[in-house]
Amino acid sequence: MAEVGPNELDKEAEESLWEKILEQFKDLLVQILLGAAIVSFIFACIDDGDDGFAVFVEPFVIMCILVINATVAVWQDSNADNALEALMNLQAQTCKVNRDGKWSTIEAVNLVPGDIVSVATGDCVPADLRIIEIQSIALQAGQAALTGESVSVQKTTEKMGSDATMLQDQKNMLFSSTVITSGNAIGVVAYTGMKTAIGSVHKEVSAAKEDEADTPLKVKLD
């Protein structure tokens, strides 16, 4: 357990709405526009012309742009957070495991590679399992949340070839966070936590959230 870590997806520190908003104003281009809006507003206030409210149009437009930009960015960031939270909620909480020849129910977070796990119809798969025995006529798993397949996938104990690189081709595997729709089986834990297939999806979502490409204008300004 100490070597492989807990069988769970990495949790990111939660940001409050205010922190998300402040994050948007750390961008150099946004700071320049904010400064321009303030200077424009000051000149509008001390203007002695007869333009009336027309002089306030420029700072108003700039501020509207900044507000819209911050709103869209916070909305996108919140969507990414919701996606990560949804992945977390897919994980099984408990599972049935055989240790020292005895079956017992433990918290799924304590699973380690090599554990023997039993799954049945309706169970959420607690880790990536290699199927070693099917205890029913057939075994099917719903993988829609992971692979997008709309129908349940028929599973087998047969060894897959080296060309079975896609998750859809790995019929002898049960993947973490998928659901057993029919049958009973026993499998050995192959991967846990962030090393699972769902862990890879979690990494990709996190990377997409953090590694947003800078626009050419921002690169030049920097």
State the pTM of this model.
0.65
Residues 6 or more apart from 42 whose CB is under 8 A from it? none
Mean pLDDT, the chain, rounded, equals 80
For the packed helices 57-89 and 17-24, what is the interaxial angle rounded to 10 degrees?
130
Q: Which of 215 and 117 is assigned the larger pLDDT? A: 117
Domain boundaries, the chain: 17-89, 94-202
**For the structural domain made of 94-202, what CATH number should be given?**
2.70.150.10
Mean per-residue pLDDT, 17-23: 77
Q: Lay out the sheet containing 153-154: strands in order across.
A: 153-154, 140-142, 179-182
The predicted pLDDT at position 132 comes to: 93
Written as six digits, the tokens of 102 are: 């005895």
